[in-house]
């Protein structure tokens, strides 16, 4: 069952000319590439916007139906791309080196006709009955469209966008078809979506949305990095109203008594907000962390050089055998993205259990239990990762994946590893030594003698790409934890892979350096010390398989998973031969 809630709109700052578009000639349309011409022809608001930016002496933007990472290297950004329906995004830089601007090109009612939104809201509200209920978003949208159709009548008496007549006795709005479409878009955006920021939620290229208080909203874009949007809040009252309603949509209303909220939005994004100016000097603020519906695949990460194929092949060998691998790094280093891509290496028949504060890890496995923490009104009614991990030990999974380990649950994770469960997790630490310091210190307090049960540690970081100078993410190292020396009170670990910041290469320490491959995996497979080279041959074969998949542009997460499943059944050498011969 759903409830209605209005989202008070912040300002979407369009160029002044866009409020009163002057439409002219076909020459503009004829000059555009076919796909851009088709989009402009089907969307009058996009055509008007394009005319306006040209009138202000801006050049014609490049139109892309999909963005590629090659665009990260643009010095002067001027790009338009579709998001879905009538929504388009224009990203541009006002001069070389400036922070990119992010503008939502969407159907809007002209400023001169803002009363139309008020009477439309009145007409719709009049028709919403007490039994207005819905179970899913699609049903909510369908019901609102049905109500709007009875509240707004299309007539030929009105010609201009935003022109209307209102019958206040019957509460019926009379307007033209173009205006009706804009009203429908606006109604769905404000009632089902999240109002002024809904275009940002819909844009799959956005990772984070940040409102620091009164003023502009900023975003972190997957291609164009940090951007300033043309969406802004002009005063604290408007911002407070929006933030309060945003918190209600998450199911955890903000109040002056409870002004700090951590919650999940309907689309699964993570919301953190601070309500009111008592704690936040610029007014209420909020941050939304978005998650991709389909994770990046391991072949994509290798293509991006986040890691190389040898590193991916090594992780494949470990995870297939149920070893414990943690991904560590600082905030926004891409830990969770890497963790999700690695999950396709877990055996297809494994029973996997994920435990998270905010559900974001997506697995392709059939036997997958997904659990999330619960925040209650008090401590007694809350269930955290610690309790879920304790419960997980009784469910006998092959792998336990913890979204993030922060506190005393770390000790339970090590107990799980001691009892034979494979554990994957993310952890905040910028190096192996700092990870060990955090694990063995307060409040986690893992005994030092337990640490070597953690087999391998992936250290990842946000870096500046030495070739492009742009921000990027790299696996800095993959290390094997070998042992703990109680006499010297020191830990022995091997950096098997290291990133070279000068060449942007991932360097392999070489044959004879891996404890896990030689002393553990080789022994399990009956390979003698004399033939230990075979285990490294397998590593190279797996890396070659991933290279072939990448060359064939097998990048979709689930398509990669399909290949991994086939390879798991056929074996490495047979699969490699079939791939080379085009038989798979």
Q: Report the alpha-carbon distance of residue 141 to residue 145 in Å, rounded.
A: 6
Q: Give ∠ CA 332-289-254 in degrees, rounded to 5.
A: 130
H/E element holding 40? helix 34-42
On the question of a common fold for 195-290 and 298-580, the answer reads: no
What is the DSSP code string of 433-456?
HHHHHHHHSTTT---GGGGGGS-E
Average pLDDT rounded to a whole number, residues 112-130? 90
pLDDT of residue 311: 98
| Digit-coded pLDDT (tens) for 101-114 | 999 999 999 988 88
Average pLDDT over residues 306-328: 97
Segment 470-504, tens digit of pLDDT: 889 999 999 999 999 988 889 999 999 999 999 99
Contact, 212 vs 282, CB < 8 A?
A: yes
Beta strands 399-405 and 422-428: pairing type? parallel
Rounded Cα–Cα distance for residues 111 and 115 (Å): 9
298-580 — its CATH code? 3.40.50.300
Q: What is the mean pLDDT of residues 369-386?
A: 80
Region 559-575: what's the mean pLDDT?
A: 96
| Tokens encoding 397 | 């999974």
Q: Find the mean pLDDT for residues 156-184.
A: 92
pLDDT at site 156 = 87
User: Does the pLDDT of residue 25 top 80, yes or no?
Assistant: no
For residue 195, the SS3 value is helix
- Hey, what CATH topology would domain 195-290 get? Beta-Lactamase (3.30.450)
Q: How far apart, in whole angstroms, are the C-alpha atoms of residue 101 and residue 106?
A: 16
Give tens-digit pLDDT for 333-363.
999 999 999 999 999 999 999 999 888 899 9
Highest mean pLDDT among 292-296, 465-469, 578-582: 578-582
Mean pLDDT of 11-35: 58
Position 415 scores a pLDDT of 92
Torsion of Cα atoms, 91 then 287 then 339 then 449, to 10°: 150
pLDDT of 24 reads: 52
pLDDT interval class at 256 (50, 70, 90)? confident
Kindly state the average pLDDT of the residues 255-269. 88
Closest CA to 555 of 302, 224, 292: 302
Q: What percent of the chain has pLDDT over 90?
A: 73
Backbone phi and psi for residue 472, each to the nearest 5 degrees, phi listed first? -155, 175
169 secondary structure, DSSP code? T
Which residue, 545, 448, 457, is CA-closest to 494? 457
Question: How many CA atoms lie less than 13 Å away from 477 in the CB half-sphere?
Answer: 16
pLDDT of 57 reads 76
In the chain, what are the domain boundaries? 12-98, 111-193, 195-290, 298-580
pLDDT band at residue 3 using 50, 70 and 90 as cut-offs: very low
Give pLDDT tens digits for 67-91.
Answer: 998 898 888 899 999 999 999 999 9
Residue 379, pLDDT score: 66
pLDDT, residue 384, reads 87
Given a cut of 60, whether residue 531 has pLDDT beyond it is yes
Give the Cα separation of 152 and 143 in Å (integer): 14
User: Of 344, 343, 346, 342, nearest to 307 (Cα)?
Assistant: 342
pLDDT band at 378 (very low <50, low <70, confident <90, very high): low
Tell me, yes or no, if the pTM score tops 0.75.
yes
Residue 532 to residue 539: CA distance in whole angstroms: 12
CB atoms under 10 Å from CB of 294, counted, come to 11
């Amino acid at each position: 069952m759903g409830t209605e809630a209005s989202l008070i709109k912040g300002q979407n700052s369009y160029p002044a000319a866009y409020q009163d578009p002057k439409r002219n000639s076909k020459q503009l349309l004829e000059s555009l590439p076919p796909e851009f011409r088709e989009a402009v022809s089907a969307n009058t608001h996009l055509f008007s916007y394009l005319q306006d930016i040209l009138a202000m002496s801006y050049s014609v933007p490049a139109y892309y139906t999909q963005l590629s990472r090659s665009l990260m290297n643009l010095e002067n950004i001027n790009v338009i791309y579709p998001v879905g329906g009538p929504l388009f995004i224009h990203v541009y830089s006002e001069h070389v080196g400036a922070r990119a601007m992010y503008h939502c090109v969407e159907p809007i009612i002209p400023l001169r006709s803002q009363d139309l939104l008020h009477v439309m809201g009145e007409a719709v509200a009049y028709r919403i009955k007490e039994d207005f209920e819905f179970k899913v978003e699609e049903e909510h949208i369908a019901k609102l469209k049905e109500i709007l159709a009875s509240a707004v009548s299309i007539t030929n008496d009105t010609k201009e966008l935003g022109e209307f007549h209102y019958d206040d006795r019957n509460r019926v709005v009379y307007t033209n078809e173009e205006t009706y479409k804009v009203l429908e878009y606006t109604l769905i955006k404000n009632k089902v979506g999240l109002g002024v920021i809904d275009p940002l939620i819909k844009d799959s290229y956005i990772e984070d949305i940040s409102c620091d208080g009164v003023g502009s909203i900023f975003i972190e874009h997957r291609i164009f990095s940090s951007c300033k949007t043309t969406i802004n809040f002009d005063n604290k009252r408007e911002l407070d109203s929006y933030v309060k309603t945003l918190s209600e949509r998450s199911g955890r209303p903000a109040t002056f008594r409870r002004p700090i909220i951590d919650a999940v939005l309907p689309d699964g994004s993570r919301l953190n907000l601070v309500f009111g100016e008592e704690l936040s000097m610029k007014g209420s603020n909020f941050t939304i962390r978005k998650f991709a519906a389909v994770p990046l695949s391991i072949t994509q990460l290798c293509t991006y050089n986040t890691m190389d194929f040898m590193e991916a092949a090594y992780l494949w060998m470990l995870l297939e055998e149920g070893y414990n691998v943690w991904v560590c790094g600082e905030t926004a280093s891409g830990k969770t993205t890497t963790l999700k891509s690695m999950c396709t290496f877990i055996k297809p028949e494994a029973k996997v259990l994920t435990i998270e504060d905010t559900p974001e890890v997506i697995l392709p496995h059939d036997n997958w239990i997904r659990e999330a923490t619960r925040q209650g009104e008090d401590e007694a009614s809350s269930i955290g990762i610690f309790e879920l991990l304790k419960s997980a030990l009784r469910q006998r999974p092959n792998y336990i994946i913890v979204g993030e380990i922060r506190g005393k649950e770390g000790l339970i994770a090590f107990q799980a590893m001691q009892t034979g469960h494979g554990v994957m997790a993310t952890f905040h630490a910028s190096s192996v030594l700092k990870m060990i310091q955090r694990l063995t210190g307060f409040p986690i307090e893992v005994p030092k003698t337990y640490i070597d049960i953690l087999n391998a540690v992936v250290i990842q970081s946000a870096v500046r790409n030495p070739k492009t100078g742009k921000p990027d993410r790299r696996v800095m190292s993959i290390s094997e934890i070998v042992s703990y020396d109680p006499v010297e009170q020191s830990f022995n670990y091997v950096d098997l892979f290291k990133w070279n910041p000068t060449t942007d290469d991932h360097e392999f320490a070489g044959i004879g350096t891996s404890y896990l491959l030689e002393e553990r995996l080789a022994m399990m497979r009956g390979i003698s010390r004399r033939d230990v080279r075979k285990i490294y041959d397998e590593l190279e074969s797996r890396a070659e398989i991933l290279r072939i998949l990448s060359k064939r542009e097998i990048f979709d997460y689930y398509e990669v998973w399909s290949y991994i499943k086939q390879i798991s059944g056929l074996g490495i050498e047979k699969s490699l031969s079939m791939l080379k011969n085009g038989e798979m």
